[in-house]
Amino acid sequence: MPRRAPQGTQAVQRALGLLRSFTPEAPEHRLSELAAAHGLHPSTAHRLLGVLEAEGLIGRSPDSQAYRWMPGAPGAGDAAPSPRYNGLRPLEPLRTPFHRRTAALCESGAWRDWSGYTCVETYEPTPEREYWAVRNAAGLIDVSPLFKYEITGADAVRLLDRMMTRDFSKSQTGRVMYTSWCNEDGHLLQDGNVQRLARERFLVSAAEPCLRWFEDCGWGMDVEVRDVSEEIGVLALQGPRARAVAEAATTGLDFGAMRYFDLAAGEVGSGAGGAPVTVTRTGYTGDLGYEFWVAAEHAEALWDALVEAGRDHGLLPAGLLALDMVRVEAGLVLIDVDYVSASHAEIEVLKATPAEAGLGFTVKLDKQADFVGRRALVLERDRGPAWAMVGLEVDWFELERLWSEIDLRPQVVGQPASRKPTPVFAPGGWQVGQCTSRFFSPLLKKYVGLATVHADAAALGTELDVEVAVGYGRRRARARVVRRPFFNPARKTAVDPMPGVDE
């Protein structure tokens, strides 16, 4: 419903609207023009502008014929991201609560849209250092654009158990569960993490909006679903030094006792009285790491504490390109890249069941509660999934062979992970699937990719051909089906992880 201003606040709104008209781009305005632009009677506009002037928020042009922008005046349009829109309108590009910090560090100017938020793609012109920070020291990644839903009420467990493929009767307070959720046909809608914050309070994080689905599944239950996406900022601290940095940046948390997928509450900063923060031992990198969930108003304090603590540990802020590289190494699938959500797929063949998307391990067919999609998934179990998500690996010599055809050394380094699907063939034969994420891992020194292939081409060790670009040409590289994750250090899940493990 359109929000109507209560009586009396209208003048404040109007004054703010007028104030926002003054920007560096449009510093001067005449009374008549402002009145027309804001739909105000000139005498009303005159009165409001008079107050703004008296308060030192705007000035007069030298000939005093017009009102003028005052640089630095609080509230003036210089802080408004776009002069194009009325400041009261919701059309500014969305910023995460860490934006002021990330923007100050983004030397490359490379931004990318993520769920409507402007996010850093790489801080430096190339993502290499950020990538290596995650694998070798620690990387700090702003993942706030995730959608977050708080599920509360006596039936919270019941709702989750009905929607989700995992068994929520087994969920424990202080633990996080990674799960899939499907439509009635057993086709995957999304995958995401569910934190159990209290007996009757959960937080679901998801890549795409799903409030409506959750509410509809909870029809008639004693449960409330609330979209808290914009209220919570999220930072992922990932890499072998993550524990050391996390420990130095927070108070009241026992990182030694925190197991993989545990969750705990503490405070930001080294002394008592810092902002409350929830920490989960989770991440999208396949490495040792933690994610920090903080109220938006305390986001900058959290960022500052982590950056400060990370100074001696080689911490770097890392952008989305580095994140995409490490998540492929970790063999983690990405919605709408490696599988198409059933809520987006226009035709049936694009849809996937959890098993087909490599998420079969999240489906608990024998759990007590009936869940959405179960019937179809039982049938699939009996029949066997038609497709399988596999890891593909192309070794170095194969790359050398391909590039030697055009008299070059392999040209594979320095390219971010590609999300463009490319065909996968039976050796020398027909297409059997597609490779949806791939890149040359400088850590593993292999070309690795995630691919969906016919179930009968999915056995470990199967040889397949994958199309690669060699110069201007397209060649088939011989690949092997290998175990995922491609990279799986012991520190990721180690109890009481210490620096040096796996390093």
Comparing CA positions, the residue from 203, 228, 212, 206 lying closest to residue 152 is 203
Residue 116 or 428 with smaller CB distance to other proteins: 116
Contact yes or no for 202/156 (Cβ under 8 A): yes
Residue 83 or 421 with smaller CB distance to other proteins: 83
For residue 62, how many other CB atoms are within 10 A of its CB? 8
Candidates 12, 43, 46, 85; binder of other proteins (CB under 8 A) is 85
Site for other proteins contains 174 (CB under 8 A): no
Helices marked H in 368-466: 374-383, 396-404
In whole angstroms, the minimum distance from the beta carbon of 9 to other proteins comes to 13
Residue 85 or 361 with smaller CB distance to other proteins: 85
Q: Which residues contact 411 (CB under 8 A, 6 or more apart)?
A: 403
Q: How many helices (H) and strands (E) does the chain have?
A: 12, 23
N residues, the chain: 503
Phi-psi region of 174 (alpha: psi -120 to 50; beta: other; left: phi over 0): left
Work out whether the CA dihedral 333, 334, 338, 341 comes out positive or negative: positive
CA-CA distance, 250 to 227, in Å (whole number)?
A: 27
Comparing CA positions, the residue from 139, 141, 143 lying closest to residue 310 is 139
Residue 94 or 140 with smaller CB distance to other proteins: 94
Candidates 116, 271, 428, 429; binder of other proteins (CB under 8 A) is 116
Residue 41 or 383 with smaller CB distance to other proteins: 41
Residue 337 or 424 with smaller CB distance to other proteins: 337
Q: Amino acid identity of 127?
A: P
| Number of residues in contact with other proteins under rule CB under 8 A | 30
How far is Cα of residue 417 from the mean position of the Cα atoms in its chain? 16
Residue 88 or 460 with smaller CB distance to other proteins: 88
Site for other proteins contains 36 (CB under 8 A): yes
Site for other proteins contains 42 (CB under 8 A): no
- If you compute the radius of gyration of the chain from its CA atoms, what whole number of angstroms results? 26
CA-CA distance, 180 to 187, in Å (whole number)?
A: 10
The secondary element (H helix, E strand) that includes residue 297 is none
Candidates 75, 81, 83, 421; binder of other proteins (CB under 8 A) is 83
Residue 208 or 304 with smaller CB distance to other proteins: 208
In whole angstroms, the minimum distance from the beta carbon of 26 to other proteins comes to 9
Which one of the spans 77-85, 136-144, 168-176, 464-472 is the region binding other proteins (CB under 8 A)? Answer: 77-85
What is the number of alpha carbons within 13 Å of residue 7 lying toward its C-beta? 0
Which one of the spans 85-93, 126-134, 173-181, 424-432 is the region binding other proteins (CB under 8 A)? Answer: 85-93
Q: Amino acid identity of 274?
A: G
In whole angstroms, the minimum distance from the beta carbon of 344 to other proteins comes to 7
CA-CA distance, 93 to 86, in Å (whole number)?
A: 13
Binding mask 333-352 for other proteins (x = CB under 8 A): ----------xx-x------
Helix (H, G, I), strand (E, B) or coil at 306: helix
Site for other proteins contains 113 (CB under 8 A): yes
In whole angstroms, the minimum distance from the beta carbon of 264 to other proteins comes to 30
Contact yes or no for 425/453 (Cβ under 8 A): no
In whole angstroms, the minimum distance from the beta carbon of 336 to other proteins comes to 11
Residue 381's φ and ψ, nearest 5 degrees, are -60, -45
In whole angstroms, the minimum distance from the beta carbon of 193 to other proteins comes to 20
Residue 296 or 494 with smaller CB distance to other proteins: 296
Binding mask 223-242 for other proteins (x = CB under 8 A): ----x---------------
Binding mask 195-224 for other proteins (x = CB under 8 A): --------------xxxxx-x---------
In whole angstroms, the minimum distance from the beta carbon of 90 to other proteins comes to 6
Residue 131 or 181 with smaller CB distance to other proteins: 181
In whole angstroms, the minimum distance from the beta carbon of 44 to other proteins comes to 13
CA-CA distance, 298 to 236, in Å (whole number)?
A: 16
For residue 256, how many other CB atoms are within 10 A of its CB? 11
In whole angstroms, the minimum distance from the beta carbon of 133 to other proteins comes to 28
Residue 227 or 467 with smaller CB distance to other proteins: 227
For residues 5, 11, 16 and 19, what is the CA-based torsion angle, rounded to 10 degrees? 150
Report the interface residues with other proteins, using CB under 8 A.
1-4, 36-39, 83-86, 88-91, 94, 113, 115-116, 209-213, 215, 227, 343-344, 346
